[in-house]
């Protein structure tokens, strides 16, 4: 394998273990506080509401459309570019004083008064019960994926690796949710898809480092466990820079050029990738030391049989 970013000296990551663990704990607690105090700003997908798709005969002016709808007094209107620059998606939360037909008529009347070239393409209504079912299904999917990853790591490596890897992954997920809660960014089904993608993406990095640690334990017989882990992280850094750098460029292109429909999805991936790199090396690995990983867990002692006396 070509090493584009060679590191000649082993970087002593484990000597910073206490500092990185403290930073991770503070960040984790901050995210938990944000989730508890502010909560997630759930989108129409989970809370229910009306979704209206319209089309203009010229490129849509999203700020002008938002301004027009805000003047009607409709609360929490979300206006997104959908597909082409001529298509617009409008989301509104559930209203007790009006049904979907009344809401869509009110929206179309305001839009037609501002621009006669607007055409209604579809109106969908998501009820509160359906939204709750989607929320519960999303939480169940997150739980099932987490337990599946832990089982995979336990079978492939050892239970200490499984627990360390899962705690590192949950660290990433809680931080993503905490950031969304703190800044009150809308949490939708696309964001949930991004969170699930981060789970798989982050565990892939952990598996690469864990595999190198297991290999080093068998090869570096005279080295200490902290030095073995330091060498494993250092030797995989070239691959980490190339892989995550390429992925991050793609995600950032979606974030800046993908429009509002992909913005929060790409935002969740961006946060997850950054913390995934950090947690795989500087959260999961120190946890292995805390759990007391030893050579005996991978190298079985050789028992010499006594020769029979003739």
Give 272-308 pLDDT, tens digit per residue. 888 888 888 888 888 888 877 776 656 655 444 444 4
How is 97-140 classified by DSSP, letter by letter? T--HHHHHHHHHHHHHHH-TT-EEEEEEEE-HHHHHHHHHHHHH
The 8-class DSSP code of residue 45 comes to: H
Q: Please compute the mean of the pLDDT values over residues 46-72 and round it to a whole number.
A: 85
pLDDT at 31: 94
pLDDT at 140: 84
Condensed to tens digits (0 to 9), the pLDDT of residues 25-52 reads 899 999 999 999 988 888 777 777 788 8
Condensed to tens digits (0 to 9), the pLDDT of residues 132-158 reads 777 788 778 878 877 887 788 778 777
**What is the Cα–Cα distance from 204 to 212, expressed in whole angstroms?**
13
Q: How would residue 115 be classed by pLDDT, with cut points 50, 70 and 90? A: confident
Q: Please compute the mean of the pLDDT values over residues 162-168 and round it to a whole number.
A: 84
Closest listed residue to residue 13, CA positions, set 277, 296, 294: 277
pLDDT at 310: 39
pLDDT at 286: 85
| Residues above pLDDT 70, as percent of the chain | 89
């Amino acid at each position: 394998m070509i090493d584009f970013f060679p590191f000649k000296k082993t970087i002593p990551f484990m000597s910073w273990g206490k500092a990185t663990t403290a930073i991770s704990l503070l960040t984790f607690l901050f995210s938990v506080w944000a989730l508890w105090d502010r909560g997630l700003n759930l989108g129409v997908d989970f809370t229910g509401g009306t979704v209206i798709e319209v089309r203009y005969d010229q490129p849509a002016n999203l700020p002008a459309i938002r301004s027009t709808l805000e003047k009607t007094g409709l609360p929490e209107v979300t206006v997104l570019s959908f597909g082409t620059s001529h298509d617009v998606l409008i989301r509104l939360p559930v209203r007790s004083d009006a049904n979907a037909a009344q809401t869509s008529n009110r929206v179309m009347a305001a839009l037609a008064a501002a621009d006669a070239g607007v055409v209604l393409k579809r109106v969908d209504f998501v009820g509160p019960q359906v939204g709750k079912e989607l929320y519960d299904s999303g939480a169940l999917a997150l739980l099932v994926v987490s337990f599946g990853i832990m089982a995979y790591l336990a079978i492939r490596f050892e239970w200490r690796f499984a627990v360390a890897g899962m705690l590192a992954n949950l660290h990433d997920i809680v931080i993503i949710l905490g950031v969304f809660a703190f800044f009150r960014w809308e949490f939708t089904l696309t964001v949930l898809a991004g969170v699930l993608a981060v789970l798989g993406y982050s565990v892939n990095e952990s598996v690469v480092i864990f595999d190198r640690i297991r290999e080093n334990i068998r090869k570096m017989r005279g080295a200490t466990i902290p030095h073995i882990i330091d060498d494993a992280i250092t030797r995989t850094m070239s691959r980490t820079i190339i892989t995550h750098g390429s992925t991050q460029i793609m995600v950032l292109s979606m974030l800046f050029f993908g429009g509002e429909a992909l913005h929060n999805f790409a935002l969740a991936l961006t946060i997850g990738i950054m913390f995934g790199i950090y947690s795989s090396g500087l959260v999961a690995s120190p946890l292995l030391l805390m759990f007391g990983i030893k050579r005996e867990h991978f190298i079985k002692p050789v028992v010499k049989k006594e020769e029979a006396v003739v």
